[in-house]
Amino acid sequence: MRGKSILLIIGGGIAAYKALELVRRLAERGVGTRAILTQAGAQFVTPLSVSALTGEKTFGDLFSLTDEAQMGHIQLSRSADLVVVAPATADLMAKMAGGLANDLASTALLATNKPVLMAPAMNVRMWESAAVKRNRAVLEKDGVLFVGPNDGEMACGEFGPGRMAEPLEILAAIEQALAVQGPLKGVKALVTAGPTREPVDPVRFLANHSSGRQGYAIAQALASAGAQTTLISGPVGLAPPDGVKLQRVTTAREMLAACEAALPADVMVMAAAVADWRPDIAANSKIKKSTDRVVPLIKLVENPDILASIATGAQRPRLLIGFAAETDDVVANAVAKRARKGVDWIIANDVSGDVMGGERNRVHLISEAGVEDWPEMTKIEVGTRLAARIAEKLGAA
Ligand code: CTP
């Protein structure tokens, strides 16, 4: 969603303070925000604090001559990629459902030609009232998107649905709403990432240095381009990417089962560093040091090759992409791996340096057309470039 912009309408509710956090999080992701603060909203947060975070003028008055001269209300309502109402009060919902235009917020909502996402926040009785239910149904029918409200204790002391969704949830909904217009709209994507852990006993395991960063960046880029994306991840210390369905697994066998359950998909990217072997028996209790200093021998057995088994399975995605982590003869090994595994593309990288766990990557894309050498870039950039190539390929197919 980097480079996109949001028009944020902040309504009058105690949850308005969370809108400030939302603006901060959007800025972190390179999304610009322009805000309209309703008169009621200005009772809870000030135009100054909103502007300090958006870095822009905060609008509030429909009949301000200076505002109209700088940016007319019609232009304001269409200047962003998405209009977000947070908190969406019962009053704002009613105004929009009824087509009222008696202040800047309601006028912008009526005049906009962009999708609208509402994050309602109100007392539980208000949320459950017949009028709000009716307005919500009208708005949904008109194509307005909703996130929340959540159940929980409310500022008024009552309990139930009515709490505004948390900023991170709103962010995920924004990501999704923006992605609906992307080049991978309607595409189902499956990505694996991270290492697998193969237990030796309840406290020990075999694993590798994979951080999951490259796979997470690919999942994020696919979702941002509009793909409905599932990420199956081994144990890593990364935050879930926005707008992605994340499923956590531990072992290679769990990863295989999760992949099979998540199919069918149009495209699959296997970025996971799956353990090739596992101990044949995982002891039920901790293996103790023996008194006669005999070192235990761990017998390894082969793990299923997830990529190869999906390549030959009945649900093979239209575009199947594997990784080849190599330390020697990177390209030659990867070309051979592409044929051996029966995949369409291989992303090959040299992992002899500090690629595993690092922020940057230098990869080669190996396809039916030959070998493409990509310059060194961040893993995020690799993800974005790969998502664009996938969109080209699926669009052309
Ligand atoms: N892979 C897999 N299941 C395995 C091992 C690997 O699905 N049990 C996938 C990886 O996710 C990656 C690709 O296969 O997309 C290649 O992984 P890599 O470890 O480079 O290759 P291996 O098949 O293990 O071959 P080798 O270790 O001999 O290089």
pLDDT at 158: 81
Measured from the Cα of 192, ligand 1's closest atom is 11
Nearest to 36 by CA among 86, 101, 70, 81: 86
| Interval between CA 322 and ligand 1 midpoint (Å) | 8
Identity of residue 316: R
| Interval between CA 355 and ligand 1 midpoint (Å) | 17
Where are the CATH 3.40.50.10300 domain residues in the chain?
A: 188-396
Nearest to 313 by CA among 349, 385, 261, 356: 261
pLDDT at 261: 96
pLDDT at 300: 97
| Interval between CA 342 and ligand 1 midpoint (Å) | 12
Out of 192, 301, 323, mutate this one to test ligand 1's pocket (max ligand atoms within 8 Å of CB): namely 323
pLDDT at 299: 96
Measured from the Cα of 307, ligand 1's closest atom is 7
pLDDT at 157: 80
Residue with CA at minimum distance from ligand 1 atom 16: 324
| Percentage of the chain modeled with pLDDT above 90 | 78
CATH number for the region 5-180 comes to: 3.40.50.1950
| Known active-site residue 156 | yes
Contact 304, 270 (CB under 8 A): no
| Interval between CA 198 and ligand 1 midpoint (Å) | 15
| Interval between CA 9 and ligand 1 midpoint (Å) | 48
> How big is the CA angle at 75 (ends 73 and 78), to the nearest 5 degrees?
110
Contact 358, 380 (CB under 8 A): no
Across the strands, what pairs with 5? 32
Q: What is the DSSP string of 110-140?
A: HH--S-EEEEE---HHHHTSHHHHHHHHHHH
Where are the CATH 3.40.50.1950 domain residues in the chain?
A: 5-180
Catalytic residue among 52, 156, 281, 287: 156
Q: What is the DSSP string of 255-297?
A: HHHHHHHH---SEEEE--B--SEEES---SSPPPPPTT-PPPP
* Alpha carbon separation from 261 to 190, 209, 220, 226, 271 (Å, rounded): 11, 27, 21, 22, 18
Nearest to 271 by CA among 337, 322, 202: 322
| Interval between CA 305 and ligand 1 midpoint (Å) | 7
Question: For residue range 51-92, what is the model confidence (pLDDT) as tens digits?
Answer: 999 999 999 987 776 777 767 778 888 889 999 999 999 999
Determine the 3-state secondary structure of 184 from DSSP: coil
Residue with CA at minimum distance from ligand 1 atom 12: 323
From the first residue on, what is the mean pLDDT of each consecutive set of 10 residues in the chain (397 residues)? Answer: 90 96 94 96 96 94 74 84 97 97 94 95 95 97 93 80 94 86 89 98 96 96 91 95 90 98 97 97 90 85 96 97 92 94 95 78 94 94 96 83
Measured from the Cα of 310, ligand 1's closest atom is 7
Nearest to 175 by CA among 136, 223, 143: 223
Measured from the Cα of 275, ligand 1's closest atom is 8
Residue with CA at minimum distance from ligand 1 atom 20: 324
Task: Please give all residues whose beta carbon lies within 6 A of any atom in ligand 1, as ranges.
Answer: 252, 270, 272, 274, 276, 303, 305-307, 322-325
Fold classification of 188-396 is Rossmann fold (3.40.50)
φ/ψ of residue 112, rounded to 5: -70, 150
Contact 114, 76 (CB under 8 A): no
Question: For residue range 127-177, what is the model confidence (pLDDT) as tens digits?
Answer: 999 999 999 999 999 999 999 999 988 777 888 889 999 999 999 999 888
| Interval between CA 323 and ligand 1 midpoint (Å) | 7
Measured from the Cα of 323, ligand 1's closest atom is 15
Out of 305, 309, 346, 350, mutate this one to test ligand 1's pocket (max ligand atoms within 8 Å of CB): namely 305
Residue with CA at minimum distance from ligand 1 atom 8: 305
pLDDT at 396: 60
Q: What is the pTM of this model?
A: 0.70
Helix (H) or strand (E) holding 106: helix 104-111
Residue with CA at minimum distance from ligand 1 atom 27: 276
